[in-house]
Structure 1
Amino acid sequence: MKKFVLAPAALTISMLFAACSTTPTTTSQLDLARSDFMTAQSNPSVAANAPLEFKAASDALDSANTAAAKRESLDDIDKLAYIAKQKIATAQEAAKAKQAENEVASAARQRDEIRLQARTAEANSARVAADRAKAEADAARAQADAATNSARDEAAKNAALQQQLADLQAKQTERGIVITLSDVLFQVDRAELSAEGLRTAQKVADVLAQEPQAVVQVEGFTDSTGTSSHNLELSQHRAESVRNALIGLGVPSAKIATRGYGEAFPVASNADAGSRQLNRRVEIVLSQNGTPIANRR
């Protein structure tokens, strides 16, 4: 099979960091995609066993890097980086599956060689050797099949999880994955979740069900309207309302902490109604590997 030369993505990364005196636009999502690509590129099995998938991943990362170099919108860069991450993951999983298939073929060849040697020996010895070889080949095949199925199942599970996170518009940050619930998911100036808010909580619970090691911190925020004490109390109540909803949906209570920040850490100016609505939110911070979630600073 003709092999592809997959230098463009790595070359683009180097050019982006050395192109000019100002740092090119980037995002945490793009940084993760670059890191994933370098990991895949350093594994010879990926290029050897999944050249087409790896070429697609390289092209996708080139698109994301080009968008960053042109200083396109962060959302567009994140979308392209997300696509690149998925294609890199697909290439890695395809390589694993192909490697498992090669192991099956190698085991079959070994079995045939043993059988050929057994024919030259005495009948009884040949029969014993052939039986042993067959048993070893069957075990190797079963192991390889199990590895292939496991890799396929893991890839499917990861793809489904990534789709769920994408549906929730989750973002990867240094503190963990952040899922934002907007003010419209609550009753006006109250902590109770609306029907739509409860449906969103169900989606979050579905994600957490697939992440047994995950820990969660639910953080509430308000705009600058009203007194600081009222805002702080409302933000805490809203965070606790989301926590209670998740517990009711089966998420263990010990995994969920809450904190209200009131009007602190705004994401918009509070100068108009639209900006204030953006500040009225609840953020669910998810640490997938169970490590503590860093406090806001």
Structure 2
Amino acid sequence: MKKLVLLPTAFAMSVMFAACSTTPTTTSQLDQARGDFIAAQSNPSVAANAPLEFKAASDALDRANTAAAKKESLDEIDKLAYIAKQKIATAQEAAKAKQAEADVANAARQRDEIRLEARTAEANNAKAAADRARTQAEQAKADADAARAQADAAAGSARDEAAKNAALQQQLADLQAKQTERGIIITLSDVLFQVDRAELSAEGMRTAQKVADVLAQEPQSIVQVEGFTDSTGTSSHNLELSQRRAESVRNALIGLGVPSAKIGTRGYGEAYPVASNTDAGSRQLNRRVEIVLSQNGAPIANRR
């Protein structure tokens, strides 16, 4: 908006005439009007918020100044000065009202901005809380899934282990294995060997395969193969035959994949009979090979 001149034209003329006249024409009313005008003009709010009112005030002061310059009657000058003062006051009040309205509007706008900021902050906080809750829920679900998977794996492992143990127990039952203080004992009867010889028969090899299958499931086991005979024949022959039969079983197991370092042998000859040697049936029971399996890698105790 174009800024008004500092002083009305008539006021400038009156100053010029006053400079030329020895007795300037003015009144206290006019001087007050001029002072009020200068004060209003110095306030940017008046020109900005009440431009029409301020223009009317300026025009009124111009008329008062013109009357003073023409040396019109003092009453006329005071009357015009009074009108100018009223219009200046009106312009100032109008400016104050407009400024107050602007202040109220600005306060309302600031209040709305603060409310908007508060609502935005509240929404952001709610979103952040929702994001945290979602993250926690996802983490809880992941933890639950992991725990479930771990439980399923443990259950599966337990089922596998139980199935493995059941299969092992069935294999041992098929071999008629017995649990003793020395360990699990599997007995190979005399019929699994050639007569008076150490070589395993076909049936003996099938039995050896079953033993090897058991040992494959028991990697910690240590094996002791012990041979026995009846009392027929010389002691030296019986001892030598029992040792060879124990060695034959050891070699068969090695050939079936059992590590050689795990297998020991011992021939006892006619010692430690399990039946009398008075008849053929009893002597056949004494002609045997016993395979002793340690438990959990424990050493096998010597016979007593």
Structure showing greater radius of gyration is 2
Corresponding residue number in structure 1 for 2:253? 246
Distance 1:244 1:201 in 2: 10
Residue 184 of structure 1 is matched in structure 2 by 191
Aligned counterpart, 2:224: 217
Match of 2:91 in 1: none
Distance 1:171 1:127 in 2: 60
1:133: which partner in 2?
140
Q: Is the 8 A contact 1:120 1:126 kept in 2?
A: no
**Which 4+ stretches in 1 moved above 6 angstroms?**
none
CA RMSD, aligned part only?
Answer: 1.4
Structure 1 residue aligned with 2:209: 202
Distance across 2 between alignment mates of 1:210 and 1:161: 8
1:235 match: 242
Partner Cα distance (2:227, 2:130) in 1: 79
Counterpart in the other structure of 2:81:
none
1:150 to 151, 157, 160: 157
Deviation at 1:121, TM superposition (A): 8.6
Relative to the length of structure 1, the TM-score reads: 0.59
Shift of 1:122: 2.8
Q: Does 1:263 align with 2:270?
A: yes
> Is residue 124 of structure 1 aligned with residue 124 of structure 2?
no
Confirm whether residue 193 of structure 1 aligns to residue 200 of structure 2.
Answer: yes
Q: Which residue of the partner structure matches residue 8 of structure 1?
A: none
SS in 2 for 1:122: helix
How far off its partner does 1:234 sit?
A: 0.2
3-state SS, counterpart of residue 213 of structure 2: helix
Shift of 1:120: 12
Unaligned runs of 5+ in 1: 1-118
Aligned to 2:288: 281
| Residue 288 of structure 1: how far off its partner (Å) | 2.5
CA distance in 1, matches of 2:173, 2:153: 30
Rounded to whole Å, the distance in 1 between the matches of 2:128 and 2:239 is 86
Mapped partners of 1:248, 1:273: distance in 2: 33
Contact 1:216 1:284 in 2 (8 A): yes
For residues 130 and 176 of structure 2, the distance between their equivalents in structure 1, rounded to whole angstroms, comes to: 68
1:113 aligned residue: none
Question: Which amino acid is 1:271 matched to?
Answer: T
Paired residue total: 179
Letter matched to residue 142 of structure 2: A
Deviations 1:10-40 (A, max 9, x none): xxxxxxxxxxxxxxxxxxxxxxxxxxxxxxx
Residue 267 of structure 1 aligns to a residue whose secondary structure is coil
User: Partners in 1 of 2:149 and 2:248 — Cα distance?
Assistant: 49
**Aligned match of 1:40:** none
Counterpart residue number, 2:170: 163
Q: Distance in 2 between matches of 1:277 and 1:253?
A: 29
- What does 1:77-92 align with in structure 2 at a 5 Å threshold? none
